Structure 1
Amino acid sequence: MEENVDQKRQLWLTRVEPYEGESISHFLGRFRREKGNKFSAPSGLGDVAGLGAVLARWEKFYFNPFPTHQELEALATLVEVEADRLREMLPPPGVGMKHSPIRLCCRCYAESPCHQIEWQFKVTVGCASHKLRLLSKCPVCEKPFPIPALWVEGHCPRCFTPFAEMAKYQKHY
């Protein structure tokens, strides 16, 4: 562990502040891309954290086995975010996850540009805040949304429609 901390000091990683309700996938993608961090793949960040390929699974919402406190502590040391805060980016105990499709409330995204962990819960049918059904693909070109770790600019990767503009296509429930 001490070796990893020394490695971090040598890397001069830039801290990224988590958004409220943000999913671990979205946070890890933002952290990897932050100026000064520049990890092209989750495996690079996982190697520096001493976690190996586990971060690639977390970015795709695969939490079996569930992240241990030790794993969260190792990541917390590297990204300078408390382990308990990282734990909030994961599903609560007993809540199943939808690995695909990736789902999005565009109104929420317009208010806070991040993927919310609750959108991927199996029990979630829509956005509780806006009473809107979640989108699982671009309503303009119908391309499914990529994993949130890959959301760089907040728009469809095929037709470039901004996520916030897609809100007009969401239906009430």
Structure 2
Amino acid sequence: MVTGDSEEQRPAWYLEPFEGESVSHYFGRFRRQPAVSISNPARLSRLAKMGPVLSRWEQFYFNPPPTQTELEAIAKLISLDVEKLMALFPPSGERTLHRSTRLCAACYRDAPYHRMEWQFQSVAGCEKHRLRLLSRCPACDTKIALPRDWELGACKQCGMKFVSMVKRQKCY
């Protein structure tokens, strides 16, 4: 539908992805919106009639990679263009780490969201800030939670804010 200003009308639950945002972070943000009453990835997957794949994606498991049918089904359900949804995933051939979530606290301070590129096996540090990526909280040594759970932007164990972790990042 088009308004007089030629802007597309979006449903109340529409959520624009951030540039480079990870699929895990995006769907965590999506489900936390007041207009969305779906609290877990399994239910959202069932509604899209695509099996339990969303939970795998949010944990950075992309083997097998998402199919066009799966992407179209979830994109339709959440009213997002398939191309924008595809941008949340790693490029074809790029391997990801799924045993630990990685974070550049300096990037997060600049714009608080998880970047998909931080999970690439080929990435050791942040090129922009020349800092090593964190996979554990520098205060309590707990693994950084999955981005889908980053509601407070802090360590789930000790509460240290991600933005304050930057002073504990090592040079790259």
Normalised to the residue count of structure 1, the TM-score between the two structures is 0.90
Q: Which amino acid aligns with 1:63?
A: F
Paired residues in the alignment total 162
Question: Secondary structure, in 3 states, of the residue corresponding to 1:46?
Answer: helix
Question: Secondary structure, in 3 states, of the residue corresponding to 1:47?
Answer: helix
The residue that corresponds to 1:48 in the other structure is 47
**The structure with more helix, counted as a fraction of residues:** 1
Structure 1 runs of 4+ off > 4 angstroms? Answer: none
Q: Deviations over 1:52-105 (max 9, x none)?
A: 211000000111110011111111111122111111111111111100211000
Deviation at 1:38, TM superposition (A): 2.9
The residue that corresponds to 2:105 in the other structure is 106
Unaligned 5+ residue runs, structure 2?
1-10
The residue that corresponds to 2:136 in the other structure is 137
The residue that corresponds to 1:7 in the other structure is none
Q: Which amino acid aligns with 1:33?
A: R
Distance 1:104 1:30 in 2: 17
The residue that corresponds to 1:3 in the other structure is none
Deviation at 1:127, TM superposition (A): 0.6
Alignment of structure 1 residues 74-85 onto 2, 5 Å:
74-85=73-84
The residue that corresponds to 1:92 in the other structure is 91
The residue that corresponds to 1:8 in the other structure is none
RMSD: 1.1
Alignment of structure 1 residues 27-42 onto 2, 5 Å:
27-42=26-41
Unaligned 5+ residue runs, structure 1?
1-11
Distance 2:132 2:84 in 1: 28
The residue that corresponds to 1:124 in the other structure is 123
Deviation at 1:135, TM superposition (A): 0.4
Deviation at 1:13, TM superposition (A): 5.7
